[in-house]
A and B are shown apart, each in its own frame.
Chain A
Amino acid sequence: MIVTNIETVPGKAIVKHLGLVSGNTVRSKHAGRDLMAGLKNIFGGELKGYTELLTESRDEAVARMIDQARAVGANAVVNVRFSTSSVAAGAAELFAYGTAVVTE
């Protein structure tokens, strides 16, 4: 499965478009991380726990998108976009979407 965020798959011709596929995940931080984040709000600097959490969640969203693409018979996803939105206090939704295609 090749994933790109341009319209094409480098080095391969697209023979069929299969439409939009997407994957999402909603994550919330746990209390321990929240406490550390509270401290960091005094000293400043990177919140490593949050960085990890969001990277993991984004990977999860991409994995779900890939599952969906596989289910419709695609072998690549092009034009992938990410979007983040906070649904409730302390929880964020990570969303990845793209176009499923079949390459030669």
Chain B
Amino acid sequence: MYDLIFFLVLLLLGYVFGQHAEKKHFRSIIEREKQLRGILTFSERRIPDEANLQGTLVSGSVVISVDFFKNFVAGLRNLVGGRVSAYESLLERARREAVLRMKEKAQDFGAASVWNVRLETASIGKGRQQGGVGSVEVVAYGTAVKPR
């Protein structure tokens, strides 16, 4: 009985704090994306007119954890299959955050564009249940260039 209550409390905490954290994070992402709109990112490898430029490697990474509620919902979804929207938003947040951090590094360097941007995702640690996503790390990296 106490186990059930404990579980429900965790679920509620996860839902309340998780939703709040996610909304706050999305607001902050949108805000910072507006500020860094001036820095262009390309997945193109060839830089046009690169003779007059200088470049360096920039990267940004973030580790984001899923909350208890989402973990539970995703577990249920595993039974019937289909889209796991709980994890979709987790990964979207992580990717956008990683790209933003990379752009911040590029801004520090004084660059106006980042080329050959690559995104890599790694799952860090197993969640509460074995085989759960738990937390993900996303790293974004690319070559920032500025006029020499």
Contact = CB atoms under 8 A, between A and B. Distances in A.
Given A37-B135, A82-B59, A10 B22 contact: no
A45 B97 CA distance: 12
A18 interface: no
Contacts of B142: 5
B64 A45 contact: yes
Contact of A50 (B55, B120, B135, B141): B135
Contact of A10 (B55, B118, B139): B55
B115 A83 contact: no
Nearest to A42: B68
A80 interface: yes
B77 interface: no
B37 interface: no
B17 A6 contact: no
Contacts of B125: 37, 90
A44 B14 contact: yes
A82 B55 CA distance: 18
A5 B17 CA distance: 39
Given A5-B57, A45-B64, A50-B137, A10 B124 contact: no
Interface in A1-18: 2-11
A49 to B, nearest CB: 8
Given A10-B50, A11-B52, A83-B120, A4 B57 contact: yes
B75 to A, nearest CB: 13
B65 A44 contact: yes
A75 B55 CA distance: 14
Interface in B32-83: 45-47, 50-57, 59, 61-68, 70-71
Interface in A76-102: 80-86, 90, 92
Contacts of A43: 13-14, 17-18, 21, 67-68
B50 A8 contact: yes
B2 to A, nearest CB: 17
Interface of B: 10, 13-14, 17-18, 21-22, 25, 45-47, 50-57, 59, 61-68, 70-71, 97, 115-116, 118, 120, 122, 124-125, 127-128, 134-135, 137, 139, 141-143, 145, 148
